Amino acid sequence: AVMDLATVEGLERLLLVGSLEECAKACADLLAATPPTQQLRNPLQIRLCYCAIQSAFSTSKQKQLQDQLEAQHGGLHALPPQVFLLWQLLQLEAGAGALQLCCQQIHDYFQHL
């Protein structure tokens, strides 16, 4: 999989039409093909992260995505701030002890800035 504008726009279209499982799988594949780095900061990577997070939370695959980010990029702190905040908001919306988890993740995130 190659990350280019057309590919990322295709992921965004999958989100818009509600093909969430397909989008989550495509995002995971594209992230797997992304060279390991500490930061996912270029504009296409940011858009990929938005798609990956939205589709992962919509399909209850956030743990798999978090594990993938941990293995390839060192964790959630590799996410740009605006994408990290989306993760936290969706996590809070999911509930189940999320507030304490969010507090810990936010603390860890700022330790890496």
Per-residue pLDDT, averaged over 53-80, amounts to 93
The per-residue pLDDT for 1 is: 67
DSSP 19: -
Secondary-structure breakdown of the chain: helix, strand, coil percentages, each rounded to the nearest 5: 75, 0, 25
The per-residue pLDDT for 113 is: 75
Q: Is the pLDDT of residue 93 over 90?
A: no
Q: Taking the model in full, what pTM does it have?
A: 0.88
Q: From the centroid of its chain, how far is CA 82?
A: 11
The per-residue pLDDT for 4 is: 93
The per-residue pLDDT for 49 is: 95
Instruction: Please provide the average confidence, as pLDDT, over all residues in the chain.
Output: 91
Cα Rg of the chain (Å, integer): 13
